[in-house]
Amino acid sequence: MKLVVATRSKDKMREIRRILGAVPGLEVLDLDEAGVPVDPQEDDLEPYETFEENARSKALWFHERCGLPTVADDSGIEVDALDGAPGVRSKRFAPEQELDGLPRDEANNAHLLRLLKGVAPEGRTARYVCVAVLVENGKESLACRGEAPGVILDAPRGVAGFGYDPLFFDPELGRTFAEIDRDAKNARSHRGRAFRALAEQLRKRP
């Protein structure tokens, strides 16, 4: 079975390929390998208020263009002191909407710290959330959710990872997601948990 992963992020693709690539008989393709060129419409595929709706929207859109089973995910961070924000707006949280890549990550982290200024450590609880949706034959066939609980620090720590990882402290590990290696992060992360659940469902297929 060929399975297309609908992301342009090399970091995410690397994480996902390591997990799904372990499923027997599954050939994991990125969008370039599936022959799907970059389209400006891709920027408008996540207008919804839930992770599952956004993931389904992306999976359906790319599925229509490649004709192969397609999985897409939507993920973000929910901060309790902000009533669950940024949530589905995690990628474009900072006011500086024109930024991309590392500058965007840094702006998002700085904006989050500004909003949490003065909040005590016990009030800075948060969770990373990821929902992965598989579309086959024009419709959703699987949806898997993964969560990773943590605490938002008041300053970044570590140089690995991406997004909010330097601020996201895992109490059980005693480190941020930016202070652990890729294998350790895959074992703990929201995306790792969602895609391992998806991989387990795929293994069960005849």
- Residue with token string 């839930």: 50
CA distance 146 to 101: 24
Cα dihedral: 18, 46, 112, 118 (round 10): -120
Contact 76, 88 (CB under 8 A): yes
74, 105, 165, 170: the catalytic one is 74
Q: Pairing between strand 70-79 and 2-5?
A: parallel
32-41: long-range contacts at Cβ-Cβ below 8 A with a sequence spacing of 24 or more? 34/4, 34/66, 34/68, 35/66, 36/4, 36/62, 36/65, 36/66, 38/8
Could you give the 3-state DSSP secondary structure of residue 69?
Answer: coil
154 belongs to the catalytic site: no
CA distance 163 to 168: 10
Residues with a known catalytic role: 74
